[in-house]
């Protein structure tokens, strides 16, 4: 179990926009977007942007040798035939008019994507990122959060991290649900994902098919296995509910089969790793206030999201079948592209953005 750095909300950047009037886009106005990173999530985002009438895809950035220079329509389909080739640097694209947003999807770790985010902000783009650690960066990278907040303010743009989780299923969703309770004492939430139905990079990330020894070796070499960002979800949810946490803890463990399992063409022998189970909790005055769990493995039985709020009244929400991670991530981030342009400049969280994209003024 890892006990993360003591979480002090007073030391975190003061996310702007919490009490300010939100801006509005003109009726029918499109947000111009550039896709940064053309992995599986990035390609899904680019296709989502092409399909949405409220977004206009302007190009894509990817520095990998096998991707830079390729025609975009060759990668994501004929709908992109009039767009420029994939470029290795954001500055290689013609700067779109405002409002312009980069949809960023390259890595889960904030320290690895910091140069990319600084490039994006410095060129005057708003940025919506799938980087899990950016969803609540002060938890692990307080100094980087302060640095990015200052840069975003200086360049007059917004920056936010989000996705299905962190950013929705186990933090924003229970936070919204809590508004129906007069008092919340504790939150327990869990998400179960059948990894054989997901993309190959996620299967590799959770160690599917490895021996336990190989799993441990890879875990030590990479610094961790499985889901990234559950601690951020716990901190984000605790912040939304006003709990002054003394610490956030996070741990992961392999899910190992005890007997032979056959799923389609795959057979897993006893002792084979099926995936990873990650847990996170937030403590206040020695009491566990938030308890979260994400299981991403094969043979989980039933996919679902389950949220329980203990309080007055007790509330329970179950989403049978769960939330489809890849397509929902693309939908959420595309939606956030319209929301990030409607708030003041700076570093944001999903708590400081409108829950839904702002529309035209309502009639009296």
The CATH number of residue 139's host domain is 3.40.50.720
**Is 17 in the same domain as 138?**
yes
Average pLDDT over residues 162-176: 96
Task: Tell me, yes or no, whether 355 lies in a domain.
Answer: no
- Does residue 210 belong to any structural domain of this protein? yes
* Same domain membership, residue 154 and residue 293: no
Q: Looking at the predicted structure, is the pLDDT value of residue 26 above 80?
A: no
Q: Do 336 and 316 share a structural domain?
A: no
Establish if 4 belongs to a structural domain. Answer: no
Beta-bridged to residue 104, according to DSSP, are: 36, 129
Start-to-end C-alpha separation, the chain? 54
Q: Determine the average pLDDT of the residues in 250-266.
A: 89
- Would 287 be classed as within a structural domain? yes
pLDDT value of residue 237: 97
230 shares a domain with 115: no
Is 127 a residue whose pLDDT tops 70? yes
Q: What is the pLDDT of residues 59-80, one digit of tens each?
A: 999 999 999 999 999 999 999 9
pLDDT band at 164 (very low <50, low <70, confident <90, very high): very high
What residues pair up with 22 in beta bridges, in sequence order? none
Same domain membership, residue 302 and residue 192: yes
Is residue 355 over pLDDT 60? yes
Q: Phi, psi (5° rounding) for residue 61?
A: -125, 130
Q: Which of 306, 322, 338 is the last residue of a domain?
A: 322
C-alpha–C-alpha distance, residues 141 and 227, integer Å: 18
Q: DSSP code of 195? A: G
Give every strand in the sheet of 158-161, ordered side by side: 55-61, 31-36, 100-104, 126-129, 158-161, 346-347
One domain for residues 14 and 111 = yes
Distance of CA 224 to the CA centre of its chain: 18
Please check whether residues 51 and 105 belong to one and the same domain. Answer: yes
Residues 117 and 133 in one domain: yes
User: What are the pLDDT digits (tens) for 288-323?
Assistant: 999 999 999 999 989 999 999 999 999 999 999 999
Within-domain flag for 352 = no
What's the whole-model pTM score? Answer: 0.89
- Are 238 and 351 within 8 A, CB to CB? no
Q: Is residue 67 part of a domain?
A: yes
| Structural domain includes residue 149 | yes
Question: What's residue 20's pLDDT?
Answer: 31
Nearest CA among 274, 228, 297 for reference residue 2: 228
**Could you write out the DSSP letters of every residue in 102-140?**
EEE-S-S-HHHHHHHHHHHHHTT-EEEE--GGGGSGGGT
**Confidence check: pLDDT of 198 > 90:** no
pLDDT score at 7: 39
What's the chain's average pLDDT?
Answer: 90
pLDDT at 226: 84
**226 and 110, same domain (yes or no):** no
Query: Rounded CA gap, 121 and 104, in Å?
Result: 12
Domain count, the chain: 2
Residue 364 banded pLDDT, cuts 50, 70, 90? low
Strand order in the sheet with 315-320: 2-3, 247-256, 273-284, 287-297, 183-194, 304-312, 315-320
User: In the prediction, which pLDDT does 309 show?
Assistant: 98
pLDDT of 4 strictly over 60: no
**Position 325 pLDDT exceeds 90:** no
Residue range of the domain that includes 185 = 172-322
Q: Is 297 found in the same domain as 189?
A: yes
Question: Are 152 and 192 in the same domain?
Answer: no
Residue 19: Cβ within 10 Å count: 6
Whether residue 152 sits in one domain with residue 197: no
Percent of the chain past pLDDT 90, that is, above it, reads 79
Whether 34 is covered by a domain: the verdict is yes
């Amino acid at each position: 179990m890892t006990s993360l750095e003591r979480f002090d909300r007073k030391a975190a950047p003061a996310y702007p926009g919490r009490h300010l009037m939100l801006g509005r886009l003109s009726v029918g106005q499109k947000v111009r977007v550039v896709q940064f990173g053309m992995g599986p999530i990035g390609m899904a985002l680019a296709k989502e942007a092409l399909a949405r009438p409220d977004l206009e895809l302007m190009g894509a950035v990817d520095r990998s040798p096998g991707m830079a220079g390729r025609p975009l329509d060759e990668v994501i389909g004929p709908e992109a035939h009039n767009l420029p080739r994939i470029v290795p640097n954001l500055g290689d694209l013609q700067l779109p008019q405002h409002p312009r947003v980069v949809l960023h999807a390259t890595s889960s770790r904030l320290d690895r994507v910091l140069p990319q985010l600084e490039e994006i902000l410095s060129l005057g783009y708003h940025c919506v990122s799938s980087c899990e650690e950016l969803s609540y960066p002060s938890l692990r990278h307080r100094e980087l959060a302060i640095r990015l907040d200052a840069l975003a303010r200086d360049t007059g743009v917004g920056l936010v991290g989000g996705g299905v989780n962190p950013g929705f299923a186990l933090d924003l969703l229970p936070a919204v649900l809590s508004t129906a309770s007069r008092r919340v004492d504790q939150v327990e939430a869990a998400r179960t994902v059948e990894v054989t139905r997901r993309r190959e990079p996620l299967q590799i990330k959770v160690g599917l098919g490895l021996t336990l020894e190989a799993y441990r070796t890879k875990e030590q070499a990479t610094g961790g296995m499985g889901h990234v960002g559950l601690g951020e979800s716990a901190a984000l949810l605790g912040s939304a509910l006003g709990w002054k946490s003394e610490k956030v803890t996070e741990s992961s463990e392999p899910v190992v089969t005890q007997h032979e399992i056959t799923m389609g063409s795959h057979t897993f022998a006893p002792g084979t790793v099926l995936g990873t189970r990650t847990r996170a909790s937030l403590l206040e005055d020695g009491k566990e206030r938030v308890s979260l769990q994400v299981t991403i493995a094969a043979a989980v039985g039933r996919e679902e999201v389950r949220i329980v709020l203990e309080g007055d009244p007790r509330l329970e929400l179950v989403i049978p079948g769960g939330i489809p991670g890849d397509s929902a991530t693309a939908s959420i981030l595309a939606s956030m592209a319209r929301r990030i342009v409607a708030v003041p400049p700076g570093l944001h969280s999903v708590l400081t953005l409108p829950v839904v994209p702002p529309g035209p003024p309502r009639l009296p």
